[in-house]
Amino acid sequence: MLKSLTVFATVSLALLTICLAPSVSNAGDFAVPVVGTPDTVRICTWNLHNYNVARRNVNGKWRVHPKPESERDAICDVLAKINPDILLVQEIGDSGFMNDFRARLEKRGLRFAFCAVGERKVSSRLGILSKIKPEKVFDFSDTQFEMDGIQKASPRGTLGFKFKGASKEWFVFCVHLKSKFGAKKADGEFAALRYAEASALCSRIRGVCPDSSPLIVGGDMNDVPENSKLIEAFAMNFLRPLPQRDSSGADFTYLWAKKNLRFKYDLFFVNYSASNILDGITAVVFDGENRSECDHRPVYIDFPMPR
């Protein structure tokens, strides 16, 4: 029986926090509950809207405060309906918040034996939870790139898992690109910065993922895929966006309530190898908006797991 919620493992290129469910005595014997057919894995991405300590309105006053209990529970209620096998999350806190998140999910029947949180010490981090044991974990939260002759750092980098089927390995990475928040008119909403950041992240991902292996990159792009620069950054690395829609045919995932505007910020990009497997498959945007607990909608795909 594992007695500790958190163990530390040295992985190539980075040190990452790996959280193991305390009830798993032999991770290799973990049974994977999947959705659909035994060969299908449901992969979901969701920006949790500050599942951490952040400045928020509490009882009519702005203060630095953890995400309210009711909002945390509401998020987990939605995820219980989706029932993902691999969950990519943005705006999670440190390993303490991840353990809280995983415990709430387990109460709803979602038991993730494996999870990781990026080690860069920022309040808003990337996280991955999985019912399937990853063969390797990649933490590229230290990613830097040059822009206009100046060295810059990706705010969150990227976090990834490598899985191994009977004959083929496959990869899943989580990203959360630079926000438009705080941009001045001259900054062009940081579009050029996101292009440079996405290019650098894709380069690091392709450095560990062979082109012959299926690759799925999911997360919050903080821009619409119709932005040619964003598409270019991924296309240069042989990644294309998957189509997506909800039950009404709408594809937006982010609601800017103040302006009543909707944007497709959250989506999946896949390489050619994954694209061939996902041919004809459309990602699902979870129905519902104007939810108090989150300003984004989750997106998920049912991925035929490579053998």
Please tell me whether the overall predicted TM-score, pTM, comes out greater than 0.95 for this model: no
- Amino acid in position 286: F
What ranges do the domains of the chain cover?
6-304
DSSP letter at 80 equals H
Phi, psi of 78, deg, nearest 5: -65, -45
Residue 298 has pLDDT above 60, yes or no: yes
Q: What percent of the chain lies above the pLDDT cut of 70? A: 84
150 and 193 in contact (C-beta within 8 Å)? no
Domain 6-304: what homologous superfamily? Answer: Endonuclease/exonuclease/phosphatase (3.60.10.10)
Residue 125: name the closest of 199, 50, 197 by CA: 50
Residue 233 has pLDDT above 80, yes or no: yes
List pLDDT tens digits, range 177-218. Answer: 998 877 777 778 889 999 999 999 999 999 999 999 999 999
132 and 85 in contact (C-beta within 8 Å)? yes
Neighbours of 73 (CB within 10 A): 13
List pLDDT tens digits, range 27-59. Answer: 222 233 334 455 899 999 999 998 987 666 777
